[in-house]
Amino acid sequence: MHVLERYRLFEGLDPQALDDIAAYARVSQARRGAILFEEHTPAEALYAVQNGWVRLYKLAADGRQSVIRLSGPSDIVGISAVLPEGMYTLAAQAISPCRLLTWRACDLHRLIDRYPVLQRSSLRLLSEYRDHLQQQFLELATEHVEQRLAHALIRLADQYGAPISAPGQVKIPIMQRDLADLIGVSHYTVNRLLHLWQQQGLVQSRRGCVVVTDRQQLLTRAETSFES
């Protein structure tokens, strides 16, 4: 399997094209806490996450971060770099040590001219990210904390979860504080809910990860309205 085949941006390209695109990439490492790019700055590079986690966020007027998305292995970060004179609409920060493939925007534009399928894939990803942002704001506005946490765990399990020995159980390599940032609540609130759900058999909270043990019950929580 080609190293780029895991990324949806490069779907539909033959091995020769993938080799050509990979030749323009630079392998880089980002330490935990490193800023990949700032919001409202020129989109000079695109990143493909090989290992680790990246937090994408917007800054409020008072300096607080509003986390929009967590990106992990097989994700593309900085898709605005495919656009002529593109600007980053979010900031990106590594929340764990990361290994990244990086393309300069100027090289991307040459590759898009050479392989038009890249442009179609880019526009599809941009549309999906916009839809995700709208869904995130809708959940923040209309759902209780329990629903938001359950939805976040289900999405993360589906995208990044790794099956473990117990049938039907999936491990998500994520810290509680990052979950809290993602759904806009305190670390204490996430810790309390995960502890309760662990007692009820929905999840297991372990060091550096959360294990989903009963996806169906978690889905029920996501779809159930809670009284204040």
pLDDT of residue 159: 87
Into how many domains does the chain fold?
Answer: 2
Domain-terminating residue out of 84, 110, 140: 140
pTM for the whole thing? 0.84
pLDDT of residue 125: 93
Relative orientation angle of helices 15-23 and 105-114, to the nearest 10 degrees? 160
Q: 80 and 132 share a domain?
A: yes
Has residue 26 been placed in a domain?
yes
pLDDT of residue 228: 40
Has residue 228 been placed in a domain?
no
Has residue 184 been placed in a domain?
yes
Across the 228 residues of the chain, what is the mean pLDDT of every consecutive 10-residue run?
A: 94 96 98 97 98 91 83 95 94 96 97 95 92 82 91 92 83 90 92 96 92 94 71
190: domain CATH number is 1.10.10.10
DSSP result, 138-202: HHHHH--HHHHHHHHHHHHHHHH-EE-SSTT-EEE---HHHHHHHHTS-HHHHHHHHHHHHHTTS
pLDDT of residue 211: 95
Q: 58, 39 in Cβ contact below 8 A?
A: yes
pLDDT of residue 166: 75
Range of the domain at 66: 8-140
110: domain CATH number is 2.60.120.10
pLDDT of residue 10: 97
Q: 152 and 124 share a domain?
A: no
Q: 40 and 64 share a domain?
A: yes
Q: 168 and 119 share a domain?
A: no
Q: Among 93, 87, 97, which Cα is nearest to 65's?
A: 93
